């Protein structure tokens, strides 16, 4: 049997959202209230979080019977619990879907950590306010691009042109 895990029945992120403060400590783990802790095996812990992500309390109720006021605070259907289940399961549970829009980092059609989307938004936000300056810098970039292509064709090797605009 795997070593026991101390499971927060109401996840830490939900306790923080509710404005609760830590006041109960077991070893190094802090809990928000005494009824919020249950010791389970690693796989049971993963099944509980997967159940939370799928709006299913059955895995939790198999290992403990928390009071109704604690059950009412559990965030069912939260994507963050599915990701937690994947980490806890270590590949031993099939069928936990955190792809695409089921992933916790998915924010309305783009990944929250998508560098391309960030660069697009950054460029749009930080354009020069004067349209003639924007046009001039774009013309310079295009001229440098065509010059680089011409030099590469003549030399047969890659040419780098650095612009500081």
Q: Is residue 126 part of a domain?
A: no
Q: What pLDDT, on the 0 to 100 scale, is given for residue 113?
A: 67
How many domains, in total, are found in the chain? 1
* pLDDT at position 165: 57
pLDDT at 46: 86
User: Is 121 a member of any domain?
Assistant: no
Specify the pLDDT at position 6.
77
123-155 b/e with 16+ CB inside 10 Å = b?
eeeeeeeeeeeeeeeeeeeeeeeeeeeeeeeee
Any domain includes 147: no
pLDDT given for residue 22 in this prediction: 64
In a domain, 137, yes or no: no
Q: Quote the pLDDT of residue 70.
A: 85
Which segments of the chain have a pLDDT < 70?
1-3, 21-32, 99-100, 102-114, 118, 122, 125-126, 134, 163-165
Asked, for residue 112, whether it belongs to a domain, the answer is no
Q: Is residue 148 part of a domain?
A: no
Q: Where are the alpha helices (DSSP H) in the chain?
A: 12-18, 42-53, 58-63, 68-71, 79-89, 115-125, 131-155
Domain that holds residue 45: 5-100
Residue 157 included in any domain: no
The confidence score (pLDDT) of residue 162 equals 72
Q: Does residue 75 fall inside a structural domain? A: yes
**Predicted local confidence at residue 17, as pLDDT:** 82
């Amino acid at each position: 049997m795997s070593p026991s895990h101390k499971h927060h029945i109401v996840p830490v992120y939900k306790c923080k959202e509710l404005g609760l403060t830590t006041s109960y400590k077991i070893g190094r783990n802090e809990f928000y209230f005494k009824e919020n802790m249950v010791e389970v095996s690693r796989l049971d812990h993963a099944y509980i979080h997967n159940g939370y992500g799928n709006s299913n309390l059955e895995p939790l109720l198999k290992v403990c019977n928390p009071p109704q006021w604690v059950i009412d605070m559990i965030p069912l259907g939260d994507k963050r619990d599915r990701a937690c289940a994947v980490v806890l399961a270590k590949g031993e549970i099939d069928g936990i879907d955190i792809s695409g829009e089921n992933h916790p980092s998915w924010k309305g059609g783009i990944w929250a950590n998508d560098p391309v989307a960030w660069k697009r938004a950054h460029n749009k936000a930080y354009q020069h306010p004067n349209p003639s300056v924007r046009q001039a810098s774009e013309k310079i970039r295009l001229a440098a691009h065509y010059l680089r292509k011409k030099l590469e064709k003549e030399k047969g090797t890659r040419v780098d042109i650095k612009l500081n605009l």
